[in-house]
Amino acid sequence: MASARSFTFPKARRLGRASEYEQVKRHGLTRRAKLLIVSALPVDNSGLCRAGFVTSRHIGSAVVRNRIRRRLREIVRQHQHELRSDFWIVIIARSEAATATYHELEHEWLRLAKRASILL
């Protein structure tokens, strides 16, 4: 069984700069669905995959947006060992994500990740 430490998802594993998001948006592969949009960009020698999360104001209040971000971060954290390395991933929540359950978001994330070929 993997140790609890191996499932951490520190800030270093997240995209933080606007330029990183823009690079993924311009040059990455995008897959769309009802709840999420997933963009992935292979980046040479970046090590483990890094993920960024976008929840715009049209989704809802700050409480709703933060809830969606927390759920998406947890989904990526739980499945981080199934992701290919050397990828930057941006996950954009659509307005329907505000009413979706955790399991619906997880199911859609896994389906989009497979379609984007970022799962092992």
Q: What is the pLDDT of residues 76-115, one digit of tens each?
A: 999 988 999 899 999 999 999 999 999 999 999 999 999 9
User: So what's the pLDDT on residue 1?
Assistant: 44
Angle between helix axes 102-115 and 62-78 (nearest 10 degrees) is: 60
In angstroms, the CA 91 to CA 52 distance is 6
First to last CA, the chain: 19
Domains of the chain (ranges, CATH numbers): 10-115 (3.30.230.10)
**pTM, two decimal places:** 0.90
